[in-house]
Amino acid sequence: MMTMGVKKKEDYAIGSSSFHFNYPLLDFSDDKSSLGFMELLGVQEYSPLLDLPLGSNVELLPTSDVKELPQTKKDWSEVTNQQPATPNSSSISSASSEALNDEQKNRTVDQTHDEHKKTKEQLKAKKTNQKRQREPRFAFMTKSEVDHLEDGYRWRKYGQKAVKNSPFPRSYYRCTSVSCNVKKRVERSFSDPSIVVTTYEGQHTHPSPVMGRSNNFCSLMSGSENYMSQYYQQQHQQPLHVDALSSLGFLSPKNVTFPQETALLSDYGRLQDVVPSLMFKQD
């Protein structure tokens, strides 16, 4: 069905930690004797993962593989140095502009101009007191023919922008669930059009709408930790305490590397099992 090879060791920068990780190659070719990505993560049960045509490749890639991303220092800080987001932080700018729009509708041009000025000043004053903070972001790359990978959550596209120095546009999606303000950006790498870069922002406040899933956040995380813990113990003859795993999920901490031999998948799972689980807020 799908093969997964531990390709090479790379430096990852996700969340607040950077780490080494042998990223898996997910290949939808038929191989019954293989080990699934979810199996690698220690998850015993999973259902079909990416809703992709057979023959398409899905490859989790280290961010360093795409040279143009992130493009700026700001981008890097967004991906690598997360700050805790304050409640309502994401709605500050939109709420302000909505208020502005309502005012504009009901007033004359001159009045509107004055009001606009006022509102801008108020906004400025607000900004000085309350710096806009972003939700934590999680970026990853996949090798896929389809831009928008099925991850078990429902998304509404709210924007698309041309990206500088790239022929491929960036799409903006929001989780359709009410009171869940998770967003994601999807764009193709211009250096390698087969690579899709997905950036999640925020945490889901609800479980995946896809029903009947046995491998939830807990099983995924505990499973992945088990796998890496077992491997680490084999290699170092001592138990592994995985702080990064417990905070970030399946990601390995620094200095923990995976076996070099190729691991093959016997089945395929869902992207949801990897990413949105990380974003799911456990209260």
Site residues for DNA per CB under 7 A: 71-74, 78, 90-91, 93-94, 96-98, 100-101, 116, 120, 123, 127, 132, 154-164, 170-173, 176, 183, 185
CB of 280 to DNA, least distance (A): 19
CB of 274 to DNA, least distance (A): 21
Helix (H, G, I), strand (E, B) or coil at 210: coil
Task: Select 171 or 257, whichever has its Cβ closest to DNA.
Answer: 171
Residue position matching structure tokens 């499973």:
223
Task: Select 172 or 217, whichever has its Cβ closest to DNA.
Answer: 172
CB of 236 to DNA, least distance (A): 39
Task: Select 80 or 229, whichever has its Cβ closest to DNA.
Answer: 80
Q: What contacts 178, CB < 8 A, 6 or more positions away?
A: none
Task: Select 1 or 100, whichever has its Cβ closest to DNA.
Answer: 100
CB 135 within 8 A of CB 92: no
Q: Are strands 183-188 and 57-61 parallel, antiparallel or unpaired?
A: unpaired
Task: Select 5 or 70, whichever has its Cβ closest to DNA.
Answer: 70
Tokens of 162: 């041309």
CB of 112 to DNA, least distance (A): 10
Q: Is the bond preceding 70 in cis, omega lying within 30 degrees of 0? A: yes
Neighbours of 30 (CB within 10 A): 11
Neighbours of 222 (CB within 10 A): 16
CB of 143 to DNA, least distance (A): 21
